[in-house]
Amino acid sequence: MMDNRKWLYRLLACVTILFILYALVDNYILDPQAESFLSHKAGLTRQPALPVWLNVMRVHVACACIAMASGLLNFSSRIREKSHRFHRSNGYVYAGAVLLVVLTSGYMAPYATGGKISSMGFNALNLIWLFITITAIVQIKRKRIVAHRHWMIRSYAFCFTNLLIHLLTTILHQGFGLVYASSYTIGIYGSIALLLIVPALYLKNNRSHVK
């Protein structure tokens, strides 16, 4: 089982690092004006103030990358065992990054592709992620280490929201021919469901080993 956990962590590390690099290159080098993403905007009752929206989006992307990186480090048993102080400090970095991701997402939600239904989905997603992360913090404050790790697994899953939304959108839009805006909206709600179900199934099947 230990070998399986190491293999899973290495796989998670590879996916995380690759996605962070992709997000940084795509948003800061290849398409800093988000022209490709903005070209799909539809169903909006009002248009965003572009300079402000772009700055908020850049902060959003940067904080999401920080959350992914800091969360990955804190899942390393080697780092956790060598330095509890770093693990605790890095945990606060993760929580702060999540808070900023949620706040910036809250600003961008009214301008989401797909209009009001998509906006509601993002707001629900933000509230769920914030609740789960706060619960993880409360558990460690109460010295409930196992419960803390379980809630952190649930929280960290939401770091992959963007990846999952765009994966589902691509499958629905290019694979099944759905309109992009509809595919995106379904992708949001589908992602919420998967981000809640997959960690729950993982914890159910590995509860005795996630300690």
Cα angle: 135, vertex 109, 156; to 5 degrees: 30
Q: Where are the domains of the chain?
A: 2-27+46-206
Start-to-end C-alpha separation, the chain:
13
Q: What is the CA radius of gyration of the chain?
A: 18
Q: Please report how many Cα atoms fall inside a 13 Å half-sphere around the Cα of residue 118, on the Cβ side.
A: 25
Q: Look-up: residue for tokens 């009002």?
A: 46
Of 128, 78, 55, 120, residue with least CA distance to 98? 128
Cα angle: 188, vertex 192, 196; to 5 degrees: 165
Cβ 137 vs Cβ 95: under 8 Å:
yes
pLDDT tens for the chain, 211 residues: list them. Answer: 556 778 889 999 999 999 999 999 999 999 999 888 888 776 566 677 889 999 999 999 999 999 999 999 999 988 888 899 999 999 999 999 999 999 999 999 999 998 899 999 999 999 999 999 999 999 999 999 999 999 999 999 999 999 999 999 999 999 999 999 999 999 999 999 999 999 999 999 886 556 5
